[in-house]
Structure 1
């Protein structure tokens, strides 16, 4: 990939971030959510994106005609995607889908304009066993391992009162913890795992010592130890199979 092609991609991404997050006020967001396609803000917002994309392409040295066509495509697609999003709940999944669709349009426009050379070396590396095994491990520590931990802990779950906790917070925290543990193991950095485990234990030590929510505390610590142990074993097995130093 040439430096000019990379510069164009970065400029287009900067234009998108500026238009979606820096130059869009809460008033526009509320208007789009309440009125959908009838909101003037949705058209103004799409126009801002088209203008910013056009500036980014002209700055990078693209021809005016091609830049106008690409900017029009980005603006119209942004308009349609935002109209669809205005009819969805304000949830993380829809935010991620929205941003992914915008990103795909930007990548298509960039590929059409810059016509970057293919990267066979990168494609070949992505299909090697090592990155595929690492990707598999990260997928395993999300939902699959959460289900396994929940099944193991099921014999004690009826004995604890978790009415004062956030819904599904434990599962989300567990996924983040396992992500960090696996990353540390694959990086060969084992010390931060000890700090992470110590921090989790300290948060519950006061309740355990003063006999407040003792069963819930023990339940959380037991689940944490199980989650950490399984992730640690998975990471060590992966390091051994991939012969990591």
Structure 2
């Protein structure tokens, strides 16, 4: 029974991905961005999602009326979210918000369809110490740790010339690196961390060997080592905490 319940969720997510990325042509996307709620494409696109959801729901052990109601909910919510998105700039944050809203609707519809009602169980699990500790650590390695590293490195910041680099690229690369390192530590896979560090070192030592900018290379390597070391310590500490909970 449990596998059937989660199969329904996976099928709904698959239907969403198919409708949003495989069955939506560029002409529809441009029409929605240009005309907003006046675009026929936004209604056709929502209809496609409704039909895909209905085809999935009819494969489950649901009455026809329940399947139609759930599919209409998904289609209408998709329509409203897409109309709102059509008035936002083409930026990563709005894309992620858009997909998060669609995912939230699908999860709510799925939770309404299955029994027993799972939201209290999910909420109870999310409020357990283990997921909260993991979430806290992942949040900590993003902006807070970037600020700490920048403060530690500021004594050398004035000595390097970074005018030829992308704005904020180093901080974003550091966040992605720490995300990967923490994930590898929590999964007990330490070998990929060595490969990641080696790749970063080889890249920067190539510049150092050719003497393009020795100070910038040393600055980046020092920041990388500090970032990796702090993330490793946090990851190991989190693993210890999770084992003791």
TM-score calculated relative to the size of structure 2: 0.91
- SS in structure 2 at match of 1:153: helix
Partner residue, 2:42: 42
Which stretch of structure 1 is more off in the superposition, 122-131 or 46-55? 122-131
Partner residue, 1:218: 218
Residue-by-residue CA offset, 1:163-199 (whole Å, 9 max, x unaligned): 2212211111111111222222233333322221111
Q: CA deviation at 1:119?
A: 8.1
Measured on the aligned residues, the alpha-carbon RMSD in Å equals: 2.0
TM-score calculated relative to the size of structure 1: 0.91
Q: CA deviation at 1:114?
A: 2.4
**Is 2:184 the counterpart of 1:170?**
no
Q: Measured at CA, do residues 185 and 24 of structure 1 come closer, stay the same or move farther in structure 2, by a change above 3 Å? A: same
Q: CA deviation at 1:59?
A: 1.9
Aligned pair count reads 244
Which stretch of structure 1 is more off in the superposition, 192-201 or 121-130? 121-130
Partner residue, 1:133: 133
**Does structure 1 retain, via aligned residues, the 8 Å contact 2:111–2:119?**
no
- Quick one: distance in 2 between partners of 1:105 and 1:118? 15
- Quick one: distance in 2 between partners of 1:39 and 1:122? 38
**Does structure 1 retain, via aligned residues, the 8 Å contact 2:208–2:217?**
yes
Report 1:1-245 matches (<5 A).
Answer: 2-118=2-118, 125-243=125-243
**Does structure 2 retain, via aligned residues, the 8 Å contact 1:32–1:41?**
yes
Q: Measured at CA, do residues 241 and 19 of structure 1 come closer, stay the same or move farther in structure 2, by a change above 3 Å? A: closer
**Does structure 2 retain, via aligned residues, the 8 Å contact 1:16–1:49?**
yes
**Does structure 1 retain, via aligned residues, the 8 Å contact 2:111–2:118?**
no
